[in-house]
Amino acid sequence: MEPGPATAGRRTTGPRRDGVLLAATALLCAALMALHGQIPNTVGHLGSLFQTLLPWTGLSVPVLLVSAALRRSRFAAVAVLAPAAVWVTLFGGMLTDKGSAGGDLTVVSHNVDEGNTDPVGTARGLAAADADLLALEELSQEAADVYRRELAPGYPHHAVIGGVGLWSKYPLKDVAAVPIMPWTRAIRATALTPKGPVAVYAAHLASVRVHPVAGFTAGRRNDAARELAAALRAERSPRVVVVGDFNGTFQDRALAPVTSRLRSAQREAGDGFGFSWPAAFPVVRIDDILVRGMEPVSSWNLPATGSDHLPVAASLRL
């Protein structure tokens, strides 16, 4: 028996509707990527959370393509080109190695993790990198003594205030705490390099959490970022490096008071995304090396230590 017009219509409506819904979803994904800066932050800092995970939105492209193929919808497959194009525009440049040889100053920053059970191994791993400057965050009082002892042979100059420390091959002067929170989470010093002084800031912004009710709890971190930005506005040195655990990514607009004044070594001279946390399976880059008045030459991550973060490194041209 031949199907009548009504029966044929019912057989094609479902797939067509699925194709249209897939195409609409693809266009919505593209719009969210392109307009990520317009997603409201008023409720649960959702905009910041979306921007934190923004590189991973690219996973929507293969998922949508597979769905379009299963439904045999050319219309949906063509629509998937929209989020693909937006993602490549945003992050395509991150997929190539932009680093080069050379540099005058090598900097390493590492959240060593207060719960790290192997500070000796961590210190020795960091020392093996032979950086000119080492910034360590989340130092416990007991661990700080271990790092002092283990790093002393290669780093004759160091300063520790609260849970943040700087180790340097070059003399440090004007060492002071930077009041970004009620307790010390940032310090500043001037490193007297052979090519002139460099202002060095090491910071550990407040932690954030994703809560089912409160959302992305980033209020204290954002306050700390504003305080750090105020210190940077008052900084008179023409060459500045700001390193540490920012508990947020460079594209998070809430950190714009800091990041808008600085350049990210990873974005300009890195290879890939340089995700640094969690160390076992990094999904975000919340540890960074930011500069002003210097040229990033290369940027990379060091091997895992006993911390839940990966160390980040950069070579800079003064």
Give the length of the chain.
318
Task: Report the percent of the chain where pLDDT is more than 70.
Answer: 95
pLDDT, the chain, mean: 94
Structure tokens of 304? 């895992």
**How far is it, in rounded angstroms, from Cα 161 to Cα 250?**
26
pLDDT 10s digits, 200-211: 999 999 999 887
Q: What pLDDT shows up at residue 126?
A: 98
Strands (DSSP E) found in the chain? 105-111, 133-137, 157-161, 164-168, 172-177, 186-193, 196-204, 209-211, 215-217, 240-245, 263-264, 287-292, 295-301, 312-317
> Does residue 125 surpass a pLDDT of 70?
yes
